[in-house]
A and B are shown apart, each in its own frame.
Chain A
């Protein structure tokens, strides 16, 4: 009875109260944590424009570059409480710079020289963003809990556990097994799948079938992708955007493919598995062919939407760089492959995984259902 009542999703006010207190505490803490940083932090008191200049670059793009003189109060370190004068340049487009205003807390460098009035001088480096990160994090937690209730809570737990797993895995890779990325990510994939699906739908046949289907679907789609890359000798893939890595970026790319399509494949597997099990439980005498037919229909429905989720999640991130390339007079035929080839390959591999997983999930689920039918 108790479990049932919870399932109907009565909000747990106690939980919200505790979360609100932690939330308020962490927001307070993150605005008063300057002494925890080694880098000097200063709060901007005044910001005055000293110079403004219109620029035109070789490609005839016009922009406005402004210099500002900031007076700020240091918040940590040796000169805490003292005022510092900072110079900062920013452009209207803000591709690689930012405009500061009074009240912003920024990281600064302190130069040895003092201004005529004896104030410290230095340069503005970057904004202190931790307060925003914490704020959005809480917004996310509360909205997921308020709307999703128990399901939202499980989604949050699954997210937290997966982030933790990934962090540990990357630590292991970077510090201990620099040649074992794919093995580590492979093991991780199994754990990710188990954690996410068990949290979404509990310990039962439905989940087990979905886990098996996910692992088969992911492995096969990854094998296809690797085979194609190998057969075509990587033609058409431009790894330039990963070149900052001092590691074998082909391997990192493959590992990214692996993780990237995992979520979508889990989505397909659990959707098919839970709807087939629901149909079977409503009517245990339902014919196999009928179940398969409904499963195929569901598959057709989710196929398009889930591939487009992946498509947008991957490709959109390249927009800023593409705009920059085009504004630098790069032809589209150069800019697109240069900045999108890896993303398109990721989306396509994910799509292949999604579509392949539909029959795989259908047959895995049928196996579980037949086994149960035989046992009964």
Chain B
């Protein structure tokens, strides 16, 4: 028994008590997601496999777990799936370009200590690995926004089937805006919490503002936080318009 196992057991009991069968499924979804991470790990250690492609397939798996396993295969989840994958693909393209330009791959000089004794010439393209980290870190939030929008839009459409496409899309955008603030908040605090040690370390080293901003570790964190916000925001119009188009066409047929 160790800390992790006890915490996991507590989480399982709580999820089962509060969430019933859906809670149990959510707990197993975490396990499956962990499996996806291990899957990514194995493919990425192979230098002949492009990490961007691994990320793309991992995103599909994560979406399937979060949408089809926890919920169900229906028009809501399918549209959420498509919107998430569109945003992920666009984001992936830009983030690979940006992390290449910013040269934030691998590790900064602040992390040298943890690299000691390791061979660094391992042949894996760390620029692409870095881009993949950014994408997978935010995928949970993008998925959350997408599914919230598609399910509330279907509910709206059911209650008032005569809504026009533009009205429906506008309503979806409103739902999305409501979650935008809280979801970016969730991510920001998670990142702050995870990087607290690093922030304290920067203070201890008495880095100047210039040194902090240009440091690899800091700027990669900035890219992570801001891309998270951008990804969560971008999925709002995509999910709203796709959903509206689908609902209107379904009514027409």
Contact = CB atoms under 8 A, between A and B. Distances in A.
17 contacts: A59-B119, A61-B121, A62-B123, A93-B124, A93-B126, A129-B215, A132-B98, A147-B233, A158-B181, A235-B2, A257-B193, A270-B182, A304-B70, A316-B37, A341-B3, A352-B14, A359-B18
A351 B30 contact: yes
Interface in A249-271: 249, 252-253, 255-264, 266-267, 270-271
B123 A93 contact: yes
Contact of B185 (A59, A155, A244, A304): A155
A277 interface: no
Contacts of A358: 18
Contact of B123 (A92, A236, A349): A92
Contact of B204 (A96, A174, A241, A327): A174
A66 to B, nearest CB: 11
A151 B182 CA distance: 10
Contact of A326 (B41, B132, B133): B41
Contacts, number: 403
Given A144-B233, A315-B37, A355 B177 contact: no
Given A127-B102, A308-B33, A309-B144, A322 B41 contact: yes
Nearest to A153: B181
B149 interface: no
Contacts of A328: 118-119, 122
A313 B187 contact: yes
Q: Majority SS of interface residues in chain B?
A: helix
B185 A266 contact: yes
Interface stretch (A12-20, A224-232, A281-289, A368-376): A224-232
B23 A303 contact: yes
Interface of B: 1-8, 10-11, 14-15, 18-20, 22-23, 25-26, 29-30, 33-34, 37-38, 40-41, 44-45, 47, 62, 66, 70, 98, 101-107, 109-115, 118-127, 129-130, 132-133, 136-141, 143-144, 147, 173, 176-178, 180-194, 196-197, 199-201, 203-204, 210, 213-216, 219, 222-224, 226-230, 233-234, 236-237
Contact of A308 (B5, B11, B30): B30
Contacts of A147: 173, 176-177, 180, 233-234, 236-237
Nearest to A61: B122
A-B residue pairs, 6 tightest by C-beta: A260-B193, A236-B2, A263-B189, A304-B26, A63-B121, A309-B140
Contact of B110 (A95, A225, A242, A244): A244
A55 B213 contact: no
Interface string A318-360: 0111111111100010000000010111111111100110110
A96 B196 contact: no
A144, A243, A308: residue with the most chain B Cβ atoms closer than 10 Å? A308
A144 B227 CA distance: 11
Interface residues of A, number: 134
Given A91-B120, A92-B123, A309-B141, A355 B185 contact: no
A310 B177 CA distance: 20
Given A127-B102, A304-B70, A323-B129, A271 B26 contact: no
Contacts of A271: 182
B114 A241 contact: yes
B182 A345 contact: no
A158 B228 CA distance: 16
A252 B197 contact: yes
Given A244-B114, A303-B26, A154 B181 contact: yes
A173 B45 CA distance: 40
A71 interface: no
Contacts of B224: 317
Contacts of A253: 197
